[in-house]
A and B are shown apart, each in its own frame.
Chain A
Amino acid sequence: MAASVRTFVRSLSRKNACFAAVLRQSDCRWFTGAAEDRSTHFGFETVSEAEKASKVYKVFENVAQKYDVMNDAMSLGIHRLWKDALLHVMHPQPGARLLDVAGGTGDIAFRFLDYIRSQQEKQQRRAMSLGQTPSWRDISDGYPAGGGAPESAVVVCDINKEMLKVGRQRADSRGVTTGLSWVVGDAEELPFNDDQFDLYSIAFGIRNVTRIDQALKEALRVLKPGGRFLCLEFSKVTNPVLERLYDAYSFQVIPVLGEVIAGDWKSYQYLVESIRKFPDQEEFKGLMEDAGFFCVQYFNLTGGVVALHSGFKL
C-alpha cells in the first residue's frame, strides 16, 4: 500500500505543489523518495534536504580541530557560562543518565560528570558532618561501586566522527575513563531503544539538524517517562540595540576570526547564517509542544542571544 501511495503522490507532486506540501507535513517516514523535491535552508542559501546533511557534515569536519578555540574566540569565553547555566538548570540527580546529542567535543558531558561528582562529595560531606564516624562498611561502600546503585553515565552522540575524535582526545587528556561513551548517530534517527535516558541535551546542535521535528520526536522516544529535554541554542535577541550590535559582530567579526584562526571563512559564514534561520524562542517552544513535550519553558541568556528550552516527557 505504501508503494502505491508513493507513486500516486509523486505524480501529483509534479502537478500540484500545494497538495504535496500538505502531505509532506504529515509524519510519513516512507516518503523518502521525494527528499530531493523538498528544500530547506543552509545558511541563507536554499538546498535540498538530502544535500543539507552532507554539507553540514563537511562544515564540521573542517572545523573539528579548532572547534573549542573558535568557540572561545567568537563568544569571548561566554559559551562556558552558557553551558554552566545549562547544567545548573538540568540539576542532575545522582544516578541520572544523560544523552548528549551533537555533543561532539564533549563540553556538556564533562560538565555533567563534574557536577555529579561534586554533588556526591557534598552528600558525603553532609553525612560526615552529622558527626557519625563511618563504620568499615560505610567506608568500603564509598569505594567505586561495581554494581549496586545505578551510576550516572553520559552518552555523547554525534553524526560527525571528527568531532567525536576530538572529544575522545579531550577525555583522555582529562583522565576521564568511566561513565562516558561515544556513539556515532543521527539526531533524526537515534541508535537507541525507547525509554533509555533520564536527560537529553542538545547544545548548539539542533539548528544543524535537517528536520527539527524529527529530532524532537526521537528525543521524546529515547527519554524515560518523566525525562527531561534540554536545548541550548542561539535565538532572537530581545533588545533592539543589542540586536544591532550582535548582527554587526556576527557578520563582520566572526567570519574574519574564522579565516584568521581556523582558515575557513565559509564555515563560519554558514554558522552565523544558520543562527538567523533558526526559529525564535516561542516558535521553538511550539515545536516542542507539538512533538509532545509538557511543561515547556525557556530561559533567555545574555539578553536572548542564547535560549535554553526545557520540556518533560510525561
Chain B
Amino acid sequence: MYVNFRYQAESPKSDVARRLSVLLDMATLLRGLRAAGALRGLGGVLAAPTATNPQFCRLRRGFYCAALRLQDESKSDKASSSSSSSSSTSYHEHYQAHSAQQDTAGQHHSDPAAEGTSSSADGQSEYQDEEYESEEQLQARILTAALEFVPLHGWSMEAIAAGAESLGLSSASTGMFINGSGELVLHFIADCNTKLTEILAEQHNQVQLGQAEKKKTSEFLRDAVETRLRMYIPYIETWPQAMSILLLPHNIPDSLKHLSNLVDDIWYYAGDRSTDMNWYTKRAVLTGIYNTTELVMVQDSSPDFQDTWAFLDNRIQDVVNMATTAKQVQSTGEAVVQGLMGAAVTLKNLAGLNQRR
C-alpha cells in the first residue's frame, strides 16, 4: 500500500504524461484500498455473525459519521460536512464511502445524510473507525502525535504514552510498540525522508516547467543536505539520544536502510544516472558528508547553525576539489606516459635500434 513517490519521477518527463501516471497510481491505490476495505469489511462482518447486533450497527454508523467528522476537523469547517466530498480530500472520503458500501449492503446509506451534520455528538465513534484503518496506520498516527512530546520526555515510551493520550487512546496502547523508542526515531526519520523527497520532487518539477534555474550539482547537494538537517532543529536538544538509539544493534539495519534511501534520493534528484563504480563512490561520499555534518550540528551553538552550514560548504568544496584534482592527476598521468613513450622512441632512434635492415 506504500506509494513510493520516487518512482513517480521515473515516468516520462512530459508534464501531461506525468500527471496521467499520477492519476493512474491514485486509481490503482483506490482500487487496492477498496479491496482492502472490502476484505476488512468482510472480516468485520464475519466476526459479528449476527449483523443485527445493535452495537455493531452503531459502530458502522458511528464510523461513517466519524469519517465525515474527521474530514471536518482536518479543515476545521464543521458546517460544510456535506460539501466536503468536493474538496481535495475527496479521495479519502471516496475510500471510506466505497468500503462502507461494500461492508453492509447500504445499511447506513441513508444515515450519513441525516447524521453528517450532527456528527459532533458521538465522541466515542471517532475511535471505532480504527478498524477501517489498519493497525500500522494507527501506530503511525500515535507516533506522529508522540513527536510533540519528545522535547519533554525524550525519545522514550513516556513520549509515546503522552502521544497516545493526546489522541484520546489509553496509555496502555504503548504495549503495541515493543521497541518503543527505536520505532519512534525510525518513524521520524522516515517522515523526514518523505518530506525531503517531496521537496526535491517539487523543485524538479519547477525546473522542468522552466520556472526555476537548474542548480549546479554541488549547490544542489548542499541545499538538499541543509534542508534535511534543518528538519532536526526542533528536536536538536534530544537528537544525541536519538542518534544513540539508532546505533543500538537491533536498530542498525533499519537506520542504515533509511540512510541509504536518503542518499540515493538526493543523488537521483541531483541528476545522477551513473551505472558504474561512480554510483557507489558518489553515495559513499555523500553519506560521509551527511553524517559528519549531522555530528557537527548536534554540538553547534552558533546562531541558526551557521557553523554547521559553513562546515557543509567546506566539505562539499573538498569533494569538488578532489574530483577536479583526480581528473587533473589522470590527464597529467596520461601526458607523462605519452612523453616518456616519446622519449623512449627518440632514444631508440638515436641509438639506431629502430632501423630495419
Say if the beta carbon of A27 comes within 8 Å of chain B. yes
The listed residue (A96, A195, A312) touching B171 by CB distance below 8 A is A96
The listed residue (A199, A224, A226, A289) touching B47 by CB distance below 8 A is A289
Say if the beta carbon of A205 comes within 8 Å of chain B. no
**Contact across chains for A93 and B127 when beta carbons are under 8 A apart:** no
Say if the beta carbon of A225 comes within 8 Å of chain B. yes
Say if the beta carbon of A295 comes within 8 Å of chain B. yes
**Contact across chains for A226 and B157 when beta carbons are under 8 A apart:** no
The listed residue (A25, A91, A95, A223) touching B174 by CB distance below 8 A is A91
| Residues of A77-104 contacting chain B, CB below 8 A | 89-93, 95-96
Say if the beta carbon of B353 comes within 8 Å of chain A. no
Say if the beta carbon of B169 comes within 8 Å of chain A. yes
Knowing A91-B157, A226-B164 are in contact, say whether A295-B135 is a contact too (CB < 8 A). yes
A227 to B161, CA, bound (A): 12
Q: In the complex, what's the smallest C-beta–C-beta distance from B346 to chain A, in angstroms? A: 79
**Contact across chains for B172 and A96 when beta carbons are under 8 A apart:** yes
**Contact across chains for A26 and B170 when beta carbons are under 8 A apart:** no
Knowing A27-B53, A290-B47 are in contact, say whether A227-B172 is a contact too (CB < 8 A). yes
| Residues of B135-178 contacting chain A, CB below 8 A | 135, 138, 157-158, 161, 164, 167-176
| Residues of B50-82 contacting chain A, CB below 8 A | 50, 53
Say if the beta carbon of A236 comes within 8 Å of chain B. no
A91 to B158, CA, bound (A): 11
**Contact across chains for A226 and B50 when beta carbons are under 8 A apart:** no
Knowing A225-B124, A225-B169 are in contact, say whether A93-B161 is a contact too (CB < 8 A). yes
Say if the beta carbon of B249 comes within 8 Å of chain A. no
Q: What B residues does A226 contact at CB under 8 A? A: 127, 164, 167-173
**Contact across chains for B170 and A314 when beta carbons are under 8 A apart:** no
The listed residue (A195, A223, A224, A312) touching B175 by CB distance below 8 A is A312
Closest to A119 in B: B158
Q: What A residues does B169 contact at CB under 8 A? A: 224-226, 314
Annotate B104-117 by CB proximity to A: 1 below 8 A, 0 otherwise.
00000000000000
Knowing A228-B173, A310-B175 are in contact, say whether A26-B158 is a contact too (CB < 8 A). no
A92 to B175, CA, bound (A): 9
Q: What A residues does B172 contact at CB under 8 A? A: 90, 92-93, 96, 198-199, 224, 226-228, 312
**Contact across chains for A314 and B130 when beta carbons are under 8 A apart:** yes
A289 to B43, CA, bound (A): 10
Closest to A197 in B: B170
A40 to B128, CA, bound (A): 34
**Contact across chains for B47 and A225 when beta carbons are under 8 A apart:** no
A311 to B259, CA, bound (A): 34
Q: What A residues does B168 contact at CB under 8 A? A: 225-226
Question: Looking at chain A's contact residues, is the secondary structure mostly helix, strand, loop, or mixed?
Answer: mixed
Q: What A residues does B124 contact at CB under 8 A? A: 195, 225
Say if the beta carbon of A294 comes within 8 Å of chain B. yes
**Contact across chains for A96 and B50 when beta carbons are under 8 A apart:** no
**Contact across chains for B157 and A93 when beta carbons are under 8 A apart:** yes
**Contact across chains for B135 and A292 when beta carbons are under 8 A apart:** no
Knowing A93-B158, A289-B47 are in contact, say whether A228-B175 is a contact too (CB < 8 A). yes
Annotate B174-202 by CB proximity to A: 1 below 8 A, 0 otherwise.
11100000000000000000000000000
**Contact across chains for A90 and B135 when beta carbons are under 8 A apart:** no
Say if the beta carbon of B254 comes within 8 Å of chain A. no
Q: In the complex, what's the smallest C-beta–C-beta distance from B43 to chain A, in angstroms? A: 9
Q: What A residues does B171 contact at CB under 8 A? A: 93, 95-96, 198, 226
A289 to B48, CA, bound (A): 11
Closest to B134 in A: A294
Knowing A195-B124, A294-B135, A314-B135 are in contact, say whether A25-B173 is a contact too (CB < 8 A). no
| Residues of B114-132 contacting chain A, CB below 8 A | 124, 127-128, 130-131
Closest to A230 in B: B175
**Contact across chains for A312 and B127 when beta carbons are under 8 A apart:** no
Q: What B residues does A195 contact at CB under 8 A? A: 124
Say if the beta carbon of B49 comes within 8 Å of chain A. yes
Q: Which of B128, B130, B131 has the most CB of A within 10 A?
A: B130
Closest to A92 in B: B172
Q: In the complex, what's the smallest C-beta–C-beta distance from B180 to chain A, in angstroms? A: 9
**Contact across chains for A26 and B174 when beta carbons are under 8 A apart:** no
Annotate A246-290 by CB proximity to B: 1 below 8 A, 0 otherwise.
000000000000000000000000000000000000000000011
A91 to B161, CA, bound (A): 11
A128 to B174, CA, bound (A): 26
Q: What B residues does A89 contact at CB under 8 A? A: 175
Knowing A93-B157, A226-B164, A294-B135 are in contact, say whether A26-B50 is a contact too (CB < 8 A). yes
The listed residue (A26, A95, A225, A310) touching B49 by CB distance below 8 A is A26
Annotate B84-116 by CB proximity to A: 1 below 8 A, 0 otherwise.
000000000000000000000000000000000
Give the 8 A-B CB pairs with smallest separation, nearest first.
A226-B169, A226-B173, A225-B127, A228-B172, A226-B170, A93-B171, A198-B170, A224-B170
- 17 A–B pairs (Cβ distance < 8 Å), ordered by A: A27-B50, A91-B157, A91-B174, A91-B175, A93-B174, A198-B170, A198-B172, A225-B128, A226-B127, A226-B170, A226-B171, A228-B172, A228-B175, A295-B135, A312-B173, A312-B176, A314-B138
Taking A26-B50, A91-B174 as known contacts, 15 extra A-B pairs with beta carbons closer than 8 A to each other, sorted by chain A number, are A26-B49, A93-B161, A223-B170, A224-B170, A225-B127, A225-B130, A225-B169, A225-B170, A226-B164, A228-B170, A292-B47, A312-B172, A314-B127, A314-B130, A314-B169
Interface residues of A (CB under 8 A from B): 25-27, 89-93, 95-96, 195, 198-199, 223-228, 289-290, 292, 294-295, 310, 312, 314
